[in-house]
A = this chain, B = another copy of it.
Amino acid sequence: MDEPVDVVCPPDPAGAHEQTMRLAIEAAHRGPRGANPLVGAVLVSPEGEVLAVGHHRGAGHLHAERDALRQVAAGGDHGAVDLHGATLYCTLEPCRHHGRQPPCTEAILEAGVGRVVYGADDPTPDASGGAAVLRAAGVEVVSGVLSGPALAVNNRWARARREGRPFVTVHLAQSLDGRIAAADGTSQWITSSASRLHTHRIRRRIDAILVGSNTAEVDDPRLTARLPDGTLADRQPLRCVMGRRPLAERARLRQGRPEGDGWVQLRTHDPLEALQRLGAIEHDGHPVRHVLVEGGSRVLAAFFAQDLVDEIFAYQAPLILGAGASSVGDIGVTTLAQARRYTRDQAEGGAVRILDDDVCVHLQPAEGALTWPEHSTDPLSIGPRGASAPTHHASDAAADLAGAGEDRSCTDPCSPES
């Protein structure tokens, strides 16, 4: 084994490190956002051949490093695979702590990987320090390769951690004209069955689900996570009502159970306070780290106004209502320049989903986000927001996704008048 070395981003003239790190960042985006950061890992042979590409599938699942190593082990007798000359690329510094998963450093040392190249240092005190552990054990470690993009992938996750609050996913289920209910309050169902199934997939992996007390009264929802066959999933989110209005005795959320037993009321109108309180609650043996906010428009407005929305799934049903509540209430924006801006999020495998009649767009806050080039001619070209490669969608690549490249690189002919 090589002597311990302490290399920080050495010269990489051929760009091999960066090229492989891009693959790892791309792999990271296959996982879902939430309690844990997105992480990708690529295992490369001494000859430069990609042996495995791994990613983290969310809290409770294998970390990306183990996912990649497991694939190689699964390919034959683990002992027969000599990884001494291999390099493991990870977007994030391998963890050294026992969380819901054992430390990645252990797996790397057990597998005998000779070199680790990673992007960003782990920003959390409890998980960081993995690089030092590996180096002490004789592994060559290169850090800081594409550290900017590798960090930007988890921009909002890191911010939620810094703010001491759970990660917030928002669910918008609306008509084409942005309504979440008709004038008489009817809202079941604006979106398609496939959209609701998609929502239940999210509900199955979050820690808590939150609605406003008005929505709890008007819609009287159960807020359970169900499987496609309609039965309850093994794991259920903590169900939360935010606001001061008391929950009716007959409410389905109670189902005869006292507060604290699977549901809580957060008697505040301040979303950050609500989140911090949730973060202090243990549910299913873990602190609440990921909250899905489902509505209504006033609660959503409170989260948007304070920039507490880390991720949006916007389900748009192809119908026009022309009246009824808008999906998001007043957020204090009076002029267009103040609008809250988002950008498509490639995490979880893609930003635009066709769900029966609906189109679902997956978004993240634009500020500080890493944008991923879609259908770029150079699939390895990535960069921070504003620096991404021109995108092009060939209509033959996806029958439902139309070409729009033709005029894309031209100057804007439409300013200043329409």
> Interface on A for B, CB 8 Å cutoff?
172, 174-179, 181-184, 186-190, 193-194, 196-198, 200-201, 219-223, 226-231, 252, 301, 304-305, 312, 314, 316, 318-323, 326-344, 346, 348-357, 359-363, 366, 372, 374-375, 391, 393, 395, 397-404, 407-408, 410-418
Contacts and interface: CB of A to CB of B under 8 A. Distances in A.
B413 A399 contact: no
A353 B401 contact: yes
A403 B354 CA distance: 8
A344 B328 contact: no
B320 A328 contact: yes
A411 B196 CA distance: 11
11 contacts: A174-B178, A183-B333, A200-B414, A220-B417, A226-B413, A231-B413, A301-B322, A344-B354, A350-B401, A362-B402, A398-B401
B229 A410 contact: yes
Nearest 7 Cβ contacts at the A-B interface: A178-B178, A350-B402, A230-B413, A322-B331, A228-B410, A186-B336, A398-B398
A414 B197 contact: yes
A389 to B, nearest CB: 12
Contacts of A182: 333-336, 338-339
A339 B355 contact: no
A-side interface mostly: loop
A32 B333 CA distance: 38
B221 A407 contact: no
Contacts of A360: 404
Contact of A335 (B186, B219, B334): B186
Nearest to A323: B330
B414 A175 contact: no
Most chain B beta carbons < 10 A, residue from A183, A397, A410, A413:
A413
Contacts of A335: 182-184, 186
Nearest to A187: B336
A346 to B, nearest CB: 7
A363 B402 CA distance: 13
A401 B400 contact: yes
Contact of A230 (B346, B404, B411): B411
Given A328-B322, A339-B319, A398-B401, A353 B229 contact: no
